[in-house]
Structure 1
Amino acid sequence: MEKLQRHIEHITPIDEIEFESIKTHFTPRRVRKGQYLVSEGDEAKHEYFVLSGIYKVFYVDEQGKEYILQFAQENWWMSDYPAFFKRKPATMYIECLVEGEVLCLTLDSREKLSADFHKMEHFFRVKLTNGYVALQLRIKLLLSGTPQQRYEEFARLYPNLMQQIPKKLIAEFLGVSRETLSRLYQ
């Protein structure tokens, strides 16, 4: 829970008494490599704060083609957000690529934290805003960036993932072939 406390304090100061109450809303969960936290059709009950491990958030189209929306690692948040916030069945998957641990937060707990602690409402607003900005930048890069630009941005955002996940997944995330990635990676 110490990582969570430091993560929150990076945005807003909280004292020990506040954090004692805040942490009761989070449930720790160990995750094995290959395990799914969310699968298409599931109820997306949680938003996850990553303590350790590497995860991919993706969806699969009708033809079975996989599209990776996000890799999540330590101090990142992840969920199938449309399903989580709208309480609808999931349309995405979250798979653990490297064994780790997450903290699970329900929407009801998130709402209660925001109602009880203005600081947490501020924290979640800042995190959501930053996520929205990152999403728009990623879409812009996918639409108009060159493969080289997409690769450089990936290397900037995920410097330690280059050696930890298969190149095939990196190529999928960048929207390029494995061969193109090999040329960029040299």
Structure 2
Amino acid sequence: MTLLANHPQRSEIRDLLLRNIVLRRLDAKAFDELESDLAIVDYRKGDVLLSQGAHEMEQYFVLDGVLKRVVASPEGKEMILRFAKEDDMDTSYAAWKLRTPAPYSIRAVTKARVAKMPLPQWAAFLDRHVELKDDFEYEVMHLMSEVMAHTITLHLLDAPGRVHRFSRKHPELAERVPKKELASYLNLSAETLSRLKHAGKI
């Protein structure tokens, strides 16, 4: 873990962050302020960024690779709620604001590079930049809506419909997410996903 301000690839990483869905409207002065709190971390496939039930939480900006948000039942059954790729972010901001434990885990689906900072520092930064806070909270609500829509889709659409919806909404992820992970996200067996893929559904 290296602070962005001290990172040997600082310039390239700054450019990547300024394309992020949340940070792209930041002016140079505000970004300079943020930079001192951002840590750059490289994760291996399968690494855990956030554990379900944790109380210490962070804000994540994806620089490279794919992350997943996963919820597990007490029996250990898991459900993937969403994926996040470059220029996207993930967070447990709502749980942190409500002072409740993290309701899900965040893990690396592929090798990934992430810029992160503790949520208390991120929230303090947002309070100093109200326009950014409005954009960020809108994005948090959008992500919650996206997760809800996905959950409804699992109940309302048949297998081909689920696969078609994913390929239409997330074509950039169709070939990047491992088949086992994608099948789990769509609540399908890997065999069914493979059959639909060969049939041209994805």
TM superposition score normalised by structure 1: 0.84
CA distance in 1, matches of 2:133, 2:97: 15
Structure 2, gaps ≥5 residues long: 1-13
How large is the Cα RMSD of the aligned pairs? 2.3
Question: Do structure 1's residue 132 and structure 2's residue 144 form an aligned pair?
Answer: yes
Separation in structure 1 between the aligned mates of residue 84 and residue 180 of structure 2, nearest angstrom = 17
Alignment of 1:30-179 (within 5 A): 30-80=42-92, 83-179=95-191
Q: Using a 3 Å threshold, how does the CA distance of structure 1 residues 135 and 67 change in structure 2: closer, same or farther?
A: closer
Within-5 A mapping of 1:10-29: 10=24, 12=25, 14-29=26-41
Aligned pair partner of 1:185 in 186, 197, 201: 197
- Looking at structure 2, the residues matched to 175 and 29 of structure 1 have their Cα atoms a distance apart, in angstroms, of 31
Tell me how far 1:81 sits from its aligned partner: 5.1
Q: Which amino acid aligns with 2:193?
A: L
Change (3 A) 1:123 1:4: farther
Identical-pair percentage: 28
2:42–2:112 contact (8 Å) kept in structure 1:
yes
Question: Which SS does the other structure have where 1:37 is aligned?
Answer: strand
What are the superposed Cα offsets for residues 82-120 of structure 1, whole Å, 9 maximum, x if unpaired? 544334333432221211211113222222122211221
Alpha-carbon deviations, 1:31-89, whole Å to 9, x = none?
12221112234334202111111122212223332211112211222234554433433
Pair 129,60 (structure 1): closer, same or farther in 2 beyond 3 Å: closer
User: May I ask how many residue pairs the two structures share in their alignment?
Assistant: 184
1:7-47 per-position Cα deviation (integer Å, ceiling 9, x unaligned): 2465x4x3212221133332222212221112234334202
Residues 150 and 85 of structure 1: is their aligned pair in 2 closer, same or farther, counting only changes over 3 Å? farther
TM-score (norm 2): 0.78
Q: Which residue of 1 aligns with 2:16?
A: 3
The CA distance in 2 between the partners of 1:62 and 1:76, in whole Å, is 29
